Each structure stands twice: as structure tokens, then as C-alpha cells.
Amino acid sequence: MDILRPESGIAPADPVEQRLDEQALWYSRKSAQARTMYKRVKLAQIVVGALVPVLAALSAPAYVTAVTAALVVMAEGAQQLFQWQPTWIQYRFTAELLKHERYLYLAQVGPYTAQNRREVLAQRVETITFNENAAWAERNRSEQLSDPSAGHNS
């Protein structure tokens, strides 16, 4: 049974359950995308970076070595700009947290033992997603504050 698409215990048209499924799936997919980008760019950085001393040792034209080295710097710049690794980790954490809530809900344990367990689930899912959105906004606000040119049209 897929935890994001349970086959029993939950009415498929339930908006609370649908919201949980959609959010867990979104964070899971975005986490996987960020992980893939991080690993691809990091691997390219390693491979291209390893070519720089080889090109120098082979007395390659200076511009070839310089362009190769510049590619490594550009890849690191992209890593810093898009923050794939922290996004991957944070989104994976959020997806797992939502999955954890589903397990507790289905098992009717923890905060889900009372009659109002559906309402508790709705509140907890919204709290998790709100906190993630607030953290995302704060990360982006911090980036904007550290970049004096951010937010200014030139």
C-alpha cells in the first residue's frame, strides 16, 4: 500500500485527506527534483574541476583551461543561487513529516485518538505546510537582504 495513496480507511473525496496527499506528493517530488539537480551539478563540478590540472599539465591553450575553470565557478554559483541541497533536505523532511502524520492518523494513535481526529489532521497538515512556507519565505528574505542588488531594477 502506497502511503500517499492508501486503498482503505480514507474516503477518496475527503478534502482533508486530499490536501495531505497533494502536499506530501508535492514535497516528495520537489525534493527528488532538487536532489537530482544538486547531484548532477555537483558531479559536473567534480569532473570539470578535475580536468583543470589535466589541461594545465597537457599545456592546453590558456583559454581552454580558463574556460574549464570558469565552468566550475559557474556551477558553484548556480548551487549557491538555487540552493538545491538545502531545498532537497528541507523538502524531504517535510514530505516525511507529512507521511508520519498519515501513519499516526491511520493507526489512530498520538494526537489522533479522539473523535475529532480528522480536524486534528487538518490542523496539523496546515501547520506543517505553513511552517515550511514561512521558512522558505525567511530563507528568501535573508538572501535578498544579503544581496544589495536584489529587488532593485537597474
> Which SS3 state, helix, strand or coil, does residue 135 take?
helix
Calculate what percentage of the chain has a pLDDT beyond 70: 85
Q: How many domains does the chain have?
A: 1
Question: Is 98 within a domain?
Answer: yes
Mean pLDDT of 43-49: 98
**Which is more confident, 151 or 126?**
126
pLDDT in tens, 58-75: 999 999 999 999 999 999
CA atoms within 13 A on the CB side of 20: 31
pLDDT of residue 148: 59
Question: Is 25 within a domain?
Answer: yes
Dihedral of CA 103/12/90/125: which sign?
Answer: negative
> Which SS3 state, helix, strand or coil, does residue 66 take?
helix
In this structure, the number of other CB atoms found within 10 A of the CB of residue 153 comes to 4
**Which is more confident, 138 or 122?**
122
Domain holding 115, by residue range, is 15-144
Question: Is 44 within a domain?
Answer: yes
Question: Is 153 within a domain?
Answer: no
**pTM (two decimals):** 0.80
CB of 23 closer than 8 Å to CB of 132: no
**Which is more confident, 48 or 148?**
48
Question: Is 71 within a domain?
Answer: yes
Question: Is 41 within a domain?
Answer: yes
